[in-house]
Amino acid sequence: MTEKKPADSRAEAETRNRQHTRERLADMARAFKKDPRAFVGKMEEATPAGTQPAAALLDAAIVFAEQGQFRPALSLLERAADLYEEQRDMAGLARVYVNMGPLYGMLDDLDKGVRTSLKAEELAAKLPADPELKLHYASDLGGMYTELEEWAKAMKYFQLACDTARSTGNHEVEADALLVMSQVAVAKGDAAAARTLAEHGGKLGQSLQDKQFQARSLQTLGDADALEGKHEQALELFKQALELEAAQPDAELRQQLLWEMSEASEELGRADEAAGYREQAAELGTDDEDDEEDDEE
């Protein structure tokens, strides 16, 4: 009989622990649906000895949010906020607000999400400099203002995220911010700004050897061409982006590119080709829905 290697045993143990954690969170989420107040009370009572209840609730909320359980996470964060306010712990309260803001946004309450993230920004200004906190609220506000189509504010906060990332040497976040800003410029109809931002993001992505960043750069360059009616050129750039994406797969990016390729083909009068790209994009959407159903089970 073949003896298992220690690494294999550790991997199996980690898998079992992840599965156990997932099942425990699912049970807790069901308990939340039955009685939200009792759920929060039980979570607070379960605080380990030597740990502040507010900190324990914040940590648990982050785990719930990572699992897509946004409403239970928000309930825990709201209670943690009350506790931090009672303690007059502004640093703790800022951490709560910076996690609450995007959750409201994900639950389609963008106005409340923005207000909460702005509270995090306000508190952060009164605390010792914390680049990670600034990156968090800046990125979140940029995203929410984009959803609200408030382009100037979106650009302001993405630029803040970009500058903060650059100052701390976090080039991955810097590249991401540049490429998100390039898409905001596309949404504004500013092809020139979109190209400039995309080229900077693409060069940084190349230095990082990140194919997704490079693909996103080409995507925006294609979008800029499409804005100017250069659909043949745009289609070629989308194809090049798709080749890069294949080396570092991302289903959402691939679906976006296929939709954009279908639109460019439509503009060029290639109806059959456009239909083929649309069919591929739609199939990716179906796969995502199947995965979500599996997760719920």
Sequential pLDDT tens for the chain (297 residues): 445 555 555 556 555 555 555 566 666 667 677 778 888 888 888 888 888 999 999 999 998 998 889 999 999 999 999 999 999 999 999 999 999 999 999 999 999 999 999 999 999 999 999 999 999 999 999 999 999 999 999 999 999 999 999 999 999 999 999 999 999 999 999 999 999 999 999 999 999 999 999 999 999 999 999 999 999 999 999 999 999 999 999 999 999 999 999 999 999 999 999 999 999 999 987 654 444 444 444
pLDDT at 292: 45
Note the maximum CA span of the chain. 68
Alpha carbons 193 and 221: distance in angstroms, whole number: 10
H-run or E-run covering 90: helix 90-106
**Amino acid in position 3:** E
In terms of C-beta density within 10 A (0-12 exposed, 13-18 middle, 19 or more buried), how is residue 152 classed? exposed
* pLDDT reported for residue 297: 43
Each domain of the chain, given as residue ranges in start order, spans 170-297
What integer pLDDT is reported at residue 36 of this predicted model? 81
Helix (H) or strand (E) holding 68: none
Buried b (16+ CB within 10 A) or exposed e, 184-210: bbbebebbebbbbbbebbbebbeeeeb
pLDDT of residue 291: 46
Q: What 3-state class would DSSP assign to 52?
A: coil
Compute the half-sphere exposure of residue 270: CA atoms within 13 Å on the CB side of its CA. 14
Class for the domain spanning 170-297: mainly alpha
- What was the pLDDT predicted at 2? 47
pTM for this structure? 0.83
What's the pLDDT at 45? Answer: 87
End-to-end Cα distance, the chain: 36
pLDDT, position 289 = 47
Which residue has 């979106």 as its token pair? 154
* Conformation bin of residue 169: beta by default, left when phi > 0, alpha when psi is -120 to 50: left
Helix (H) or strand (E) holding 268: none
